[in-house]
Amino acid sequence: MSLSTLPNNSPTLNNTISTLSLDFTVSFSQFETAIKQNISIDNITGIYGDSGSGKSTLLRVIAGLEKQAKGQVSFNEVTLQNSEKRDFVKAESRNIGLVFQDSRLFPHLSVYENLAYGAKRRKNPKLTIEEVLTLTQLTSLQYQNVSQLSGGEKQRVSIARALLAEPKLLLLDEPFSALDKTTKSQMLTFLKTIQQQLQLPMLYVSHSLSELQYIAEQLVVVSAGKISHVAPIHQAIHYLNNRGETSVKTSLSLTIAEHLPEYGLTRLKFNELQSTEQSIYLPLLALNSQRSDEESLIGQQLPCMIYARDISLCLTEPEHSSIVNHLPATITAIDYNNTNALITLKCAEQVFYAQISLWSAIRMALVVNANIYLQFKANAVHSYHYTGSITHA
Amino acid sequence: MTDISADILALVTTLKMAAVTAVILLLIGTPLAWYLAKWQSRFKVFFEAIVALPLVLPPTVLGFYLLLAFSPTSLPGELWQSATGSQLAFSFSAIVIGSVLYSLPFVVQPLQKAFEQLGDHHLEAAAMLGAGPIDRFFSIVFPLTKASFITATVLGFAHTVGEFGVVLMIGGNIPGETRVLSIALFDHVEAFNYANAHILSAGLLIASLLLLSLVYLLGNNLNSNLNKKQRVTKL
Amino acid sequence: MGKLMPTFLSKVSLACAIGCMLFASTTFAITEKAQAKPLRIAVAANFAPALKILLDDMPNKEQFNLQIISAATGTLYLQIKHGAPFDLFLSADATRPELLEQAHLTLENSRKTYALGQIALWSATQPVSHLNALTHYAGKLAIANPETAPYGTAAQQALTYLSLWPKIKSNLITGININQTFQQVRSQAVPLGIVANSQLVMNKLSGVIIPTHYYQPITQQLVIIKSSRQVALAKKISDYILQTNSQAKLQSLGYLAVTSSNPLDEAKR
């Protein structure tokens, strides 16, 4: 099985939404994390924040690893802790999984034995170790000693081990931040596939917006020990754009329409909801045109991201350009900075951000509500989707 | 009164004392080391100092205080007597209790160090997989600190074999009960019985050397096994 | 599963080991009790060799289960005070038996002087033929601790008698007891020392015997411990040590026999 095959069941099918109810404070020396929020977890919810913002603490409280937290935590109406009533469900009894950044595999056990560790202690087993070995493509590594594994393999074992404990909620604390970009891309694609197959709600902590943009459907923004924003992923990223905290980007999900191997491109189209026939092209997703399963990607949603600095504007339709993508749009806002101007545009219902020089903004005499064309190269469209098969390098 | 049979009796008493002491030390030293490793408090150093005390205290000082405590006229001695019906001072139980106290740091310190080095990482991972505290101890802590457990046990045993001052004070040198090798050896020297003294000394020396070499060998093997285990077992 | 077996085995073997030990200790205790109850003789370390020689010559000695427990007099005294299960105590001095008597821990009228110690000047490095060797001696001199050991006290008294004490005081090596002093000299670690004459005799060595009027007699006394359940046997042993034959034997081992200079003991005989 290649990872580029997304499962056929639609994400909305037999999907139950889990609810986390959080109201707690926890302090370490001078830093206090105070969280008061109900979070509905649909598929994967991302938790974003800088290092030291309190996002890992949030995860550890949910996991039951911070006993000194004051206040209460409940999951799907079941109280996990309540400091007033002196209730505390221990970590081992919460039925919540946690994948750590540093994998924390047991060094005295083989890959298989690490997986068996989780499997042995669960109540109502549904998955078998063999199934999970296949799912996580670890079958050939099962007799290995864990110290011989690569970083990506370690994290796959760590995820497989957590899955075999069959938790009701899986927490992931920066699971791929130590990996190189290619491996990270493999792992994100792989995790998303697993999530959709098992319908297991996940909370995914990261300080990388691009990772979260690909993996999460909803984003919780944590800063200075508090939750500052909760929104669907694209809205949340656009909200962060406006706060000026990250490099400004357009975040959107598009449907894969067709592969054009002769041009080296894949064509994406907007959702049916958005009343436009426009297409966006990006470098061909299926690297190997011989692969029979490349067709199966068609019709799937692909989260992608375009940096504002990669989008340029044109007053007329740029038909005679090497730049592949150009779309008609309407300017909805112009913000001038010291060195450049940030132009917010709308193409159908989709918002785009373009960052151009002050000089260009003045020369082109841009105004709000003006109709204009935006253009960007195919390789300005970024997606973490991994199209190769996982290698055991 | 042949000296060889007396020495063999002393050897048996010594081995019995050291074995019982080592087992008791493991049973009480393990939780003690665990709490010292995990406990975060200003008072921790005080308790660490108490555990380390036998390292610096002259054994006769410890022996003297234990003699006062175990005496039938003191409260602990009296309680023991009413509970067991026999006198505590100058009994086998007394020298075991004395040895447990005296050898405590040799068991607690290596274990505490091992538990500290082990940290919480693997334990948290095990808890997240549904393992409770006891389960975690046997499935994670013990296998990962096995080398330290062997070191602690052998050091506790060996140090008890070499014990002299405490046993001299609270044991009373009673054959078959509290006369141990080190005291028999001392008696031989006192009696100018140098031939017997040489046999015992050389025996103790060689046995201790072998035992300690075994500890370091096992420790090295276990550590290297954990670090670069090339295991291809069929499951 | 391969991993499970060794841990299981190790647990089982540990349990077995504990079981074996408990079993061993109980069987051991039973065999102990099967024997006749031993008579425990606590003896000052320096007298233990002489006592063994005396007891070896005792008639019908096979009938009795005698245990000799030797340690420093001070240690034995402390242990008896705290309930040590001894029957007979042969001290290296008279003070400790007196103290035990005052504490009512001894059998009435059991305190007897059983030997008088003698001191001698001795060197393992060179022959010493006269006490004059001390007069111009500037090296280290080994004696037992005058504060705690009776033989040390006697050595101090003798040196004072010879008016050498102030001069030699700073050159002393003091042993915790007379056995340590003897070892220090015998090992040649200290060139000259004042040791017990019995130590020299029993090791077939010879030194210069210091005249008895230079120091107070080193009175070694014995007592029967009140808590003893074998008073008869203890008395028997005590009588045996004090009888003329034994005293003659002690004399040949470097002690002074207990004579009419101890009228108290003689009168009772």
* CATH of residue A305: 2.40.50.100
For B9, the closest chain C residue by CA position comes to C28
Between β-strands C119-122 and C192-196, what pairing exists: parallel, antiparallel or unpaired? antiparallel
Contact call for residues A3 and A196 (beta carbons, < 8 A):
no
- Beta-ladder partners of C196: C119
Q: Residue C189 sits in which domain range?
A: 119-209
Tens digit of pLDDT for each residue in C123-159? Answer: 999 888 899 889 889 899 999 999 888 899 999 999 9
* Rounded (5°) CA angle A297-A173-A60: 140
Tens digit of pLDDT for each residue in A286-307? Answer: 655 445 454 567 888 899 999 9
What's the number of domains chain C is made of? 2
Residue owning tokens 């005590």: C238
Among B202, B28, B201, smallest CA distance to B99 is for B28
- pLDDT at B215 > cutoff 80: no
**Residue A75, in any domain of the structure:** yes
Top-confidence range, A34-43, A255-264, C102-111: C102-111
Q: Is residue C129 located within the same domain as residue C82?
A: no
Q: Is residue A85 located within the same domain as residue A222?
A: yes
**Chain B environment of A96 (Cβ under 8 Å):** 128
Q: Is residue C113 located within the same domain as residue C226?
A: yes
Q: Is residue C152 located within the same domain as residue C167?
A: yes
Which residue among C191, C209, C227 closes a domain? C209
- How many CB pairs (< 8 A) connect A and B? 77
Cite the beta strand spans of C169-261 per DSSP E.
172-175, 192-196, 208-209, 218-224
Among B84, B87, B82, smallest CA distance to B67 is for B87
Q: Which two tokens stand for residue A285?
A: 């997703």
Answer whether B172 sits within 8 Å of C38, measured CB to CB: no
Which residue of B124, B129, B232 is in closest CB contact with A143? B232
Phi, psi for residue B4 in degrees, rounded to 5: -65, -45
Answer whether B128 sits within 8 Å of A98, measured CB to CB: yes
Top-confidence range, A15-19, A249-253, C62-66: A249-253
Q: Is residue A206 located within the same domain as residue A317?
A: no
Q: Is residue A187 located within the same domain as residue A311?
A: no
- pLDDT at C13 > cutoff 60: no
Distance from CA of A307 to the nearest CA of B (A): 38
pLDDT at residue A245 in the model: 66
- Measured distance CA(A190)–CA(C83) in Å, rounded: 77
Strands across the sheet with A340-347, in order?
A: A312-314, A371-376, A325-336, A340-347, A350-357
For A162, the closest chain B residue by CA position comes to B129
Distance from CA of C210 to the nearest CA of B (A): 23
pTM for the structure as a whole: 0.77
Which residue among C189, C209, C229 closes a domain? C209
**Residue C51, in any domain of the structure:** yes
CA end-to-end span of chain B: 60
Q: Is residue C158 located within the same domain as residue C221?
A: no
Between β-strands A44-48 and A218-223, what pairing exists: parallel, antiparallel or unpaired? parallel
* Rounded (5°) CA angle A371-A376-A382: 130
Strands across the sheet with A202-206, in order?
A: A96-99, A169-173, A202-206, A44-48, A218-223, A226-232
pLDDT at residue C29 in the model: 46
Using beta carbons and an 8 Å cutoff, which residues of C are at the interface with A? 3
More confident residue, B197 or A124: B197
Q: Is residue C98 located within the same domain as residue C126?
A: no
Range B208-220 average pLDDT = 81
- Measured distance CA(A351)–CA(A345) in Å, rounded: 6
Q: Is residue A124 located within the same domain as residue A230?
A: yes
Between β-strands A96-99 and A78-82, what pairing exists: parallel, antiparallel or unpaired? unpaired
Q: Which residues of C24-44 are buried (b: 16+ CB within 10 A; e: fewer)?
A: eeeebeeeeeeeeebbbbbbb
Which subunits count as partners of chain B given 3+ CB pairs below 8 Å? A, C
* % of chain A residues with pLDDT over 90: 51
User: Could you give the 3-state DSSP secondary structure of residue C221?
Assistant: strand
Range A74-90 average pLDDT = 92
Give me chain A's average pLDDT, please.
86
**Chain C environment of A109 (Cβ under 8 Å):** 3
CATH number at residue A36: 3.40.50.300
Cα torsion for A39, A42, A44, A48, to the nearest 10°? -30
* Rounded (5°) CA angle A325-A306-A283: 55
- pLDDT at A70 > cutoff 70: yes
Would you call C86 an interface residue with chain B, using a CB distance cutoff of 8 Å? yes
Tens digit of pLDDT for each residue in B66-100? Answer: 988 998 888 998 899 888 888 888 899 999 999 99
User: In this structure, which amino acid lies at residue A349?
Assistant: E
User: In this structure, which amino acid lies at residue C217?
Assistant: P
* % of chain C residues with pLDDT over 70: 83
Between β-strands A31-41 and A169-173, what pairing exists: parallel, antiparallel or unpaired? unpaired
Distance from CA of C75 to the nearest CA of B (A): 7
Q: Is residue A198 located within the same domain as residue A331?
A: no
**Residue C19, in any domain of the structure:** no
pLDDT at residue A391 in the model: 46
Range A342-361 average pLDDT = 91
Contact call for residues B187 and B150 (beta carbons, < 8 A):
no
**Residue A201, in any domain of the structure:** yes
**Residue A267, in any domain of the structure:** no
Q: Is residue A43 located within the same domain as residue A144?
A: yes
**Residue A84, in any domain of the structure:** yes
Q: Is residue A183 located within the same domain as residue A60?
A: yes
User: In this structure, which amino acid lies at residue A261?
Assistant: P
**Residue C202, in any domain of the structure:** yes
Contact call for residues B188 and B201 (beta carbons, < 8 A):
no
Contact call for residues A385 and A302 (beta carbons, < 8 A):
yes
For B225, the closest chain A residue by CA position comes to A108
SS (H, E, C) chain A: CCCCCCCCCCCCCCCCCEEEEEEEEEEECCEEEEEEEEEEECCEEEEECCCCCCHHHHHHHHHCCCCCCEEEEEECCEEEEECCCCEECCHHHCCEEEECCCCCCCCCCEHHHHHHHHHHCCCCCCCCHHHHHHHCCCHHHCCCEHHHCCHHHHHHHHHHHHHHCCCCEEEEECCCCCCCHHHHHHHHHHHHHHHHHHCCCEEEEECCHHHHHHHCCEEEEEECCEEEEEEEHHHHHHHHHHHCCCCCEEEEEEEEEEEECCCCEEEEECCCCCCCCCEEEEECCCCCCCCHHHHHHCCCEEEEEEEHHHCEEECCCCCCCCCCEEEEEEEEEEEECCCEEEEEEEECCEEEEEEEEHHHHHHHCCCCCCEEEEEECHHHCECCCCCCCCCCC
Q: Residue A343 sits in which domain range?
A: 250-254+274-281+301-382
- Measured distance CA(C159)–CA(C133) in Å, rounded: 12
**Residue A296, in any domain of the structure:** no
Under the banding of pLDDT at 50, 70 and 90, the label for residue B4 is confident
Range B189-196 average pLDDT = 78
Would you call A127 an interface residue with chain C, using a CB distance cutoff of 8 Å? no
Answer whether B174 sits within 8 Å of C71, measured CB to CB: no
pLDDT at residue C30 in the model: 42
Distance from CA of C2 to the nearest CA of B (A): 6
Least confident of A54-68, B196-210, C212-226: B196-210
- pLDDT at B183 > cutoff 70: yes
**Chain A environment of C3 (Cβ under 8 Å):** 108-110, 113
Q: Is residue C76 located within the same domain as residue C202?
A: no
Q: Is residue A128 located within the same domain as residue A214?
A: yes
ipTM: 0.82
**Chain B environment of C229 (Cβ under 8 Å):** none
**Residue A186, in any domain of the structure:** yes
In whole angstroms, how far apart are CA C249 and each of A67, A387, C50, C235?
80, 105, 9, 20
Which residue among C209, C236, C255 closes a domain? C209
Q: Is residue C224 located within the same domain as residue C107?
A: yes
Phi-psi category of B213—alpha, beta or left, where left has phi over 0 and alpha has psi -120 to 50? alpha
pLDDT at residue A388 in the model: 63
User: Could you give the 3-state DSSP secondary structure of residue C99?
Assistant: helix
**Chain B environment of C179 (Cβ under 8 Å):** 190
Answer whether B191 sits within 8 Å of C49, measured CB to CB: yes
What's the number of domains chain A is made of? 2
DSSP C45: G
DSSP C204: T
- Measured distance CA(A257)–CA(A301) in Å, rounded: 10
Q: Is residue C185 located within the same domain as residue C133?
A: yes
Range A270-277 average pLDDT = 69
**Chain C environment of B80 (Cβ under 8 Å):** none
User: Could you give the 3-state DSSP secondary structure of residue C183?
Assistant: helix
**Residue A388, in any domain of the structure:** no
Contact call for residues A317 and A301 (beta carbons, < 8 A):
no
CATH number at residue C153: 3.40.190.10
Helix and strand numbers (H, E) in chain B are 12, 0
**Residue A286, in any domain of the structure:** no
- Measured distance CA(A46)–CA(A232) in Å, rounded: 10
Q: Is residue A86 located within the same domain as residue A158?
A: yes
Cite the beta strand spans of B82-202 per DSSP E.
none
Q: Is residue C125 located within the same domain as residue C95?
A: no
In whole angstroms, how far apart are CA A346 and each of A239, A279, A375, C139, C187?
15, 15, 13, 109, 104
Range B130-158 average pLDDT = 93
Among A365, A319, A367, smallest CA distance to A345 is for A367
Tens digit of pLDDT for each residue in A170-214? Answer: 999 999 988 888 888 888 988 988 898 888 999 999 998 889 999
Contact call for residues C190 and C173 (beta carbons, < 8 A):
yes
Answer whether B144 sits within 8 Å of A92, measured CB to CB: no
Distance from CA of C138 to the nearest CA of B (A): 29
Q: Is residue C165 located within the same domain as residue C205?
A: yes
Q: Is residue C104 located within the same domain as residue C146?
A: no
In whole angstroms, how far apart are CA A188 and each of A60, A264, B102, C19?
22, 24, 57, 55
CA end-to-end span of chain C: 82
User: Could you give the 3-state DSSP secondary structure of residue C120?
Assistant: strand
Range A231-240 average pLDDT = 91
Answer whether B90 sits within 8 Å of C69, measured CB to CB: no
Q: Is residue A123 located within the same domain as residue A213?
A: yes
- pLDDT at A2 > cutoff 70: no
- pLDDT at C218 > cutoff 90: yes
Interface of A with C in 93-112 (CB under 8 A): 108-110
Would you call C1 an interface residue with chain B, using a CB distance cutoff of 8 Å? yes
Q: Is residue A237 located within the same domain as residue A305?
A: no
Q: Is residue C44 located within the same domain as residue C84?
A: yes
pLDDT at residue A181 in the model: 86
Tens digit of pLDDT for each residue in C61-93? Answer: 888 889 999 888 888 998 999 889 999 999 999
Under the banding of pLDDT at 50, 70 and 90, the label for residue B176 is confident
**Residue C173, in any domain of the structure:** yes
Range B209-214 average pLDDT = 85
Q: What is the number of other CB atoms lying within 10 angstroms of the CB of residue B39?
A: 11
Answer whether C84 sits within 8 Å of B234, measured CB to CB: no
Contact call for residues A371 and A343 (beta carbons, < 8 A):
no
Mutate which: A109, A113, A117, vs C, most C CBs within 10 A? A113
Which residue of A65, A105, A147 is in closest CB contact with B124? A65
Among A57, A85, A89, smallest CA distance to A76 is for A89
- pLDDT at C1 > cutoff 70: no
Would you call A113 an interface residue with chain C, using a CB distance cutoff of 8 Å? yes
Q: Is residue A219 located within the same domain as residue A351?
A: no
